[in-house]
Structure 1
Amino acid sequence: MFWFDKENKDVLFMDNRTVDNELLIDNRRLTVNPDVLADFTAMPFEDESFYMVVFDPPHLLHAGDNSWLVKKYGKLDDNWPSMLHDGFEECMRVLKPHGTLIFKWNEDQIKLKDVLATTDYKPLFGNKRSKTHWVVFIK
């Protein structure tokens, strides 16, 4: 949802779902049309493939399966710490040496400190003043 140019030829979009023009509660249309259909815990890329990865996993635990929030952003399950740990591992695996990982998190339901505790990687910097955080890591 944060991309300015979803058609940028230099960007490879990955998601584990496709959504075709679904009408949301606010009367906007939702389309999710990734270049690669895959799960962030098992990416189909070779080691050290990218200079930059943006990791924007679902951040909801408590929302109805058919709610517009889940349709728009996805939902974590009760095993979220392991899932996010594996996601961080995969992001670092596919990054080139000294590559940059941009991590986006909304802490409405799970605090950022609890998410960062799922990985041994330490962020360089990020913002600390809102519910939506942008955190930067270097491999």
Structure 2
Amino acid sequence: MKPILDVACGSRMFYFDKNDDRVHFNDLRTEEKELCDGRKLVVSPETNWDFTQLPVPDESFYMVVFDPPHLLHAGDDSWLKAKYGVLPEEWKPFIKKGFDECMRVLKTNGTLVMKWSCNQISGSDVLKAIGTKPVLGTRKSKKNYWWVFMKG
């Protein structure tokens, strides 16, 4: 088993190596779409697991990357929806369940890296929803938050 799990890899946008063999790339979706500027969006994970119910044993990974969908609203055929996904209306329990599942599959003393775009939902609302304080990360942002959590 690979040491790192990315539970919602999307198009692997922030990876320096989009095929890093240490990372198990997962996403619920698999798709290819041409964006409005002609670029191609490719979501091609190794597995299509639901990050709220990962089919792996407890404490399987040294690091988990959690970059869940962060939009409540996007057009059905929009590039935003294709690139980032859309949250369910009841997003708080969904994000909490996903976060808890990421922690379950993380080894004791392992690291969870979470990215959140605060375009439609604030970072403070997300931290309240998951009920856990990060070890370190972005404190204030108008765009994206990066938080690091440790299990144990």
TM-score (norm 1): 0.95
Which secondary structure state, in structure 2, belongs to the residue aligned with residue 103 of structure 1? strand
Q: Give structure 2 stretches of 5+ with no counterpart.
A: 1-12
What's the offset of the Cα at 1:77? 1.4
Distance 1:26 1:129 in 2: 31
Matching residue of 1:35:
46
What's the offset of the Cα at 1:93? 0.1
Matching residue of 1:94:
105
Q: Does 1:8 align with 2:20?
A: yes
Matching residue of 1:138:
150
TM-score (norm 2): 0.87
Q: Give structure 1 stretches of 5+ with no counterpart.
A: none
What's the offset of the Cα at 1:39? 1.2
Distance 1:92 1:121 in 2: 11
* Segment drifting more, 39-48 vs 121-130: 121-130
- Figure out how many residues of one structure are paired with residues of the other and give that number: 138
Residue 115 of structure 1 is aligned with which of 126, 133, 151?
A: 126
What's the offset of the Cα at 1:129? 4.1
Superposition RMSD in Å: 1.0
Distance 2:76 2:127 in 1: 26
How high is the sequence identity, in percent, across the aligned residues? 54
